[in-house]
Amino acid sequence: MQKYKKTGLFDDMTNVLSVAAMRAAEENYARRHGGSTCDLMGAAGEGIYNAVNDATPSVFSREKRVAIVCGKGNNGGDGYALALQLHKRGIDTELFLLEYKFTSDSGYYFNLCKELGIQYRIIDGDVDFRDFDTIVDCIFGVGLRGAPDESVADIIRAINESGKYVISADINSGICGDSGIVETVAVKSNVTVAIGYPKPGHFLGSARDYIGKLVVADIGLQPVEKPYKLFEASDAAAVFPRRPHNSHKGTWGTAAIIGGSVKYSGAAKLANLAASSLASLKSGCGIARLVVPTSISHAVMPYLLESTLFPVLDKDGKIIFDEHAISEAISGTKSVAIGMGLGDNYEENYKILEYILTHHSGFIIIDADALNALAKHGAGILEKACGSVILTPHPAEFSRLCGMSVPDILRDPVKVAVDFAAKHKVTVLLKGTATVVASYTGDVYIVDRGCPGMATAGSGDVLAGIMAGVCAQSSPLFRDENFPAPAYIAAASAYIAGVAGELAEADTNPVSMTASDTVSHIGKAVSRVLSL
């Protein structure tokens, strides 16, 4: 994906606008310009041309024929405006109309095309793109609601089967602009040009399986609602403070990783648990303390290298709440991550979690079985927390927490995460194809890094470990209000995990990759961030 140009660190991140926020920006523009958005459509046509020409200069040339497939809405109008730009440069262009139907703005640009003699046809039945080199998809954009009807689905399939170079205007037709969901079919593009700003649907759901390269066409719109932010490498660098020579392991904080149970004592699972603590060290903390049931401590010991082991009381292979033991386990720590492989002893897990929430003033990362304990006994205790709480659910865990179905969560993951974070005064990191991080103050970050090879057991443990390490080392030297907030730190952790996974997959393959491969590439991922 193209790296967007930025000049600042916190305030100049790449904006991402929901479909509603984009419409609000357009309406605001119209109010300031006599009620018209016609100029925006013209700017979109020019912006699409420039963005594609910058990304792949050979696509639009006089030697190549361009087909622009236009729907009846404003996305079709963007296609007509693009046709004018191509015609002006002597590029052979033909318009394919789904219907002879227009909005006021799109009708204006279509009539200009007619006056200039630009060829057009109404699609009636099968469509043949054999005589064209490039196809521009201007069917729906972000205006799609639900699945396309079968006649339009056939046109989308024809585009995908054409073998031509495909460009999608705003977002690939068939992809929901807010969720990235593909109900039935969607256009697969070589390049997608986000008009104005990227939308959540460019990153979430199935988007990455359909969008080749994402570029942005600036059309001069300003957000009127608080935008989401796309998290990138230069943003992640902010959570790694410069390390003076005069420092030691205590300077960079202790992270406690609390997890494990007798059901989690298989070799692979123990290795993943140990990998979580190692991930903390590789992400910056000075000391990683792995807190496990006494009955499995000897089994996990061979997998530990640099981390320290802290056995605590258990019953039947599961940690039980003992105030003195838990107090000792978290004593002196800057961050605590709890839940990985903790088991289904939810009543005891809940007591442990409640104690940590009410006694630990640092970062508290709640994952896996600790999330399930919250779901079973109530999330209200989150509001008692004296530290900074970060929840890291996948959609099924989040479904149990918030009471919504997984499909409903995936239809608008940002809103669901924001609402839960605001209600409970926490940070929510919702895992998925792209990661959504929402703070209770309304900040939203989207992290679009990661790979199919990370769909393996232990990847969540590694992320929790990375986050515990980043949280622990982020706090010692910087206590002023300008240092990143918990949601920012969570997003940076997800970014590091995603890049480490991508590097691991490149060295192995998406089939054979394991969580330990991600851990072994954390150092390279951090190096990439620090080099910027």
DSSP 98-136: SSS---HHHHHHHHHHHHTT-EEEE--S----TT-SEEE
The Cα-based distances of 290 to 30, 259, 303, 307 in angstroms read 58, 8, 11, 7
Specify the pLDDT at position 482.
55
Give which of 233, 194, 230, 232 is closest to 211, Cα–Cα. Answer: 194
Phi, psi of 202 (to 5 degrees): -75, -15
Rg (CA), the chain: 26
Q: What angle do CA 254, 258, 263 make, to 5 degrees?
A: 150
pTM of the model: 0.93
The Cα-based distances of 276 to 126, 283, 508 in angstroms read 54, 11, 20
Tell me the two tokens of residue 492.
């940076």
Specify the pLDDT at position 480.
46
Tell me the two tokens of residue 131.
């005589």
As a whole number of angstroms, the distance between CA 450 and CA 433 comes to: 8
Give which of 394, 375, 361, 529 is closest to 461, Cα–Cα. Answer: 394
As a whole number of angstroms, the distance between CA 514 and CA 491 comes to: 22
Amino acid making up residue 433: T
Q: Give the CB-side neighbour count of residue 335, counting CA atoms within 13 A.
A: 35
317 sits in the region (left: phi over 0; alpha: psi -120 to 50; else beta) called left
Catalogue the E-assigned strands of 369-517.
Answer: 388-391, 427-430, 435-438, 444-447
DSSP symbol at 97: E
Give which of 431, 455, 453, 457 is closest to 270, Cα–Cα. Answer: 457
What is residue 93's three-state secondary structure?
strand
Quick count: other Cβ atoms within 10 Å of Cβ 338?
A: 31
Specify the pLDDT at position 144.
85
Tell me the two tokens of residue 98.
């789904």
Q: Domains plus CATH for the chain? A: 14-230 (3.40.50.10260), 236-292+320-530 (3.40.1190.20)
Residues of the chain with pLDDT under 50: 1-10, 476-480
The Cα-based distances of 27 to 24, 72, 75, 222 in angstroms read 5, 20, 16, 11
Quick count: other Cβ atoms within 10 Å of Cβ 143?
A: 18
As a whole number of angstroms, the distance between CA 78 and CA 192 comes to: 13
As a whole number of angstroms, the distance between CA 229 and CA 189 comes to: 24
Specify the pLDDT at position 232.
94
Sequence-distant (≥ 6) Cβ neighbours of residue 78 within 8 angstroms: 41, 44, 45, 48, 138, 141, 169, 170, 195
How far from chain centre, in Å, is Cα 341?
25
Judge residue 178's burial from the number of C-beta atoms within 10 Å of its C-beta, 0-12 exposed, 13-18 middle, 19 or more buried: buried
